[in-house]
Structure 1
Amino acid sequence: MIVALSGGIGGAKLALGLSHVLPLSELLIVANTGDDFEHLGLSISPDIDTLTYALAGLDNQELGWGRRDETWSFMETLGSIGGETWFRLGDRDLALHVERTRRLRAGETLSAITAGIARRLGIGPRILPMSDDPVRTRLRSDAGWLDFQHWFVRDQTRPPVHAIDFAGAAEARPNPLLLEALRSRPRAVVICPSNPFISIEPILAVPGLRAAIAACGAPVVAVSPIIAGQAVKGPTARMFEQTGMVPSAAAVAARYAGLLTHYVMEPEDDAAGIEAQVIRAPTLMRSLKDKIALARVVLSAA
């Protein structure tokens, strides 16, 4: 079993690459749920959905989020009657959120719902929420405390961030299937090239998960989401700067201190201070070929 910790877009790219080089039953993808929130009365799970669409071949590669071949009649109508339109939900995407919300209110767990939707869409690897209990990422900014999606989407990351909190993490229970996989000594744990602050650290904040990864006896291989001091996509570099750190591949590795055995990073980036075996390889994934090539590098390192 390969256990991969993932956020949204960058993590989904590597997860897709792994799904092409592993038997599907041997890949378990742990999704961050700190980005989840309630909007328009619906339960939205952005990182789970990005992984689901990518692995089902339904992702909108032009936007980087949502479904392909999307239409926007719902949002246009909502805007015409004065509704909130800052978080865009396409017509096809909307169906998933409606069904998830219905099933959650009927008492099903997020894990069961995610697994059921994955089966319906023909997805082979397992996608597991890090926990079935709610964990919500909140950011202390110049505008006060903001829920993650308000800062990221509504406010377009403009308010500088000074601190991050994972509300509910201390009370959350780790996904039992994830704990079982870690106790069974997986072949490797892969930390995908996702934002460490808001994609990976919410997973590690769930009580017992960081310790379970450290004790699992498997290689722990991370891939840097920073190339030449810049994030491929998203606010990773900006969040390092706003919290007083220089954005770099090494700075990301330091966030995972005590966990990593191997670290995959660009050949030109500085590896000084990294306490893991450094693997030099191209990490930018523009095509499916790139994703598969990086997945092979990660598995070879493990």
Structure 2
Amino acid sequence: MIVALSGGVGGAKLALGLSRIMPPENLLVVVNTGDDFEHLGLSISPDIDTVAYTLAGLANREVGWGRHDETWSFMETMDALGGETWFRLGDRDIALHVERTRRLKSGENLSSVTADLCRRMGVGPRVLPMTDDPVRTRLLTNQGWLDFQEYFVHQRCEPVVSELQFQGAGAAKAHPDFLAALADASLEAVVICPSNPFISVEPILAIPGVRAALIASKAPIIAVSPIIAGRAVKGPTAKMMTELGLDATAGTVAERYNDLLDGYVIDNADMSEVVSIDARVTLAQTLMTTLEDRESLARIVLDAAAVLRRRELRGLRHRTAQ
């Protein structure tokens, strides 16, 4: 069994690669829900949907989110009526949000709704929200505190970020199946996908008990850098790092995960950073532009995890309980 921690587009790409080179039923993808929000009366889970659409073969391959077979009559009509159109919802995508909203309001929890919707879309791996409790990422910017989607989509990541807050994380409970998987003796690796560490991975780590469970896990933890040669493949990772007073490097991301990591996969372009990283480093091509790239990187990650398991058997494990 493999547990993958994922945000949206970047994480979904690696999750797809993993699902294609291993039995998909042995892959558990734990997804950030700090991006979730209500819009037009609908409960929207952007990262969950991106992962689900990607694993189902339904994602828009050009942008990485939404559906490839989408139509936009709803948005066109909403615009004509003077409604809010800054968060674009395709017609087919809206059907998913309507059904999720209906079922959540009827008393179902997010994980059970997600599991059923994924099954109906033909998703092989299990897609699990990090928690069934509400956690909302907020950012302190030069325009004050902003909800994540206001910053990310409406404001197009333009405000300068100085602080992040995961509202509700302290009171949230990690999904019990997530914690059980981390404690499972058959777990072969935990993979931190190349998602934004601040807004995709750290909301998961902010839930009480998750970091301790990761440290206690017997499986090696291996992360893939979302930074290549000082730039993010997609999204505001590098921009946010600079605004937070951090160097936008693969090494800096490793420092964010330092007490967790046994291994770290970085791009060949960042070879000079190997000596500064306190984990076993694997060099690879981490830019995933094709399906073959996704599968190749997934194989490299699992091979690196296998080496780390052998090191553990020899008593050379890097990570220690804290």
TM-score by length of 2: 0.93
Count of aligned residue pairs for this structure pair = 302
1:187 aligns with 2:200: no
Q: Distance in 1 between matches of 2:26 and 2:71?
A: 35
Q: Indicate the residue corresponding to 2:97 in structure 1.
A: 97
SS across alignment from 2:194: coil
Q: Distance in 1 between matches of 2:157 and 2:267?
A: 26
1:9-61 residue CA offsets vs partner (Å, 9 max, x unmatched): 00000000000011111100000000000000000000000000000000001
Q: Distance in 2 between matches of 1:128 and 1:234?
A: 23
Q: Indicate the residue corresponding to 2:258 in structure 1.
A: 257
Q: Indicate the residue corresponding to 1:159 in structure 2.
A: 159
- Is residue 249–residue 271 contact of structure 1 (8 Å, CA) maintained in 2? no
Post-superposition offset of 1:161: 0.3
SS across alignment from 1:272: helix
Q: Indicate the residue corresponding to 1:140 in structure 2.
A: 140
1:34 aligns with 2:34: yes
Q: Indicate the residue corresponding to 1:277 in structure 2.
A: 280
1:212 aligns with 2:213: yes
Q: Indicate the residue corresponding to 2:308 in structure 1.
A: none
Q: Distance in 2 between matches of 1:272 and 1:226?
A: 17
1:187-232 residue CA offsets vs partner (Å, 9 max, x unmatched): 1000000000000000000100011011011100100000000000
Q: Indicate the residue corresponding to 1:79 in structure 2.
A: 79
Which 4+ residue blocks in structure 1 deviate beyond 4 angstroms? none
What value does the CA root-mean-square deviation take over the aligned residues? Answer: 0.6
Q: Indicate the residue corresponding to 1:24 in structure 2.
A: 24
Q: Indicate the residue corresponding to 2:310 in structure 1.
A: none
SS across alignment from 2:242: helix
Post-superposition offset of 1:267: 1.8
- Is residue 26–residue 125 contact of structure 1 (8 Å, CA) maintained in 2? yes
Post-superposition offset of 1:257: 1.4
SS across alignment from 2:166: strand
Unpaired runs of 5+ residues, structure 2, are: 306-322
Identity of aligned residues (%): 64
Q: Distance in 2 between matches of 1:224 and 1:133?
A: 28
- Is residue 189–residue 220 contact of structure 1 (8 Å, CA) maintained in 2? yes
SS across alignment from 1:278: strand
Post-superposition offset of 1:272: 3.4
SS across alignment from 1:182: helix
Post-superposition offset of 1:62: 1.3
Q: Distance in 1 between matches of 2:113 and 2:299?
A: 31
Post-superposition offset of 1:64: 1.9
1:86-126 residue CA offsets vs partner (Å, 9 max, x unmatched): 00000010000000000000000100000001111111100
Q: Distance in 2 between matches of 1:37 and 1:164?
A: 16
Post-superposition offset of 1:179: 0.7
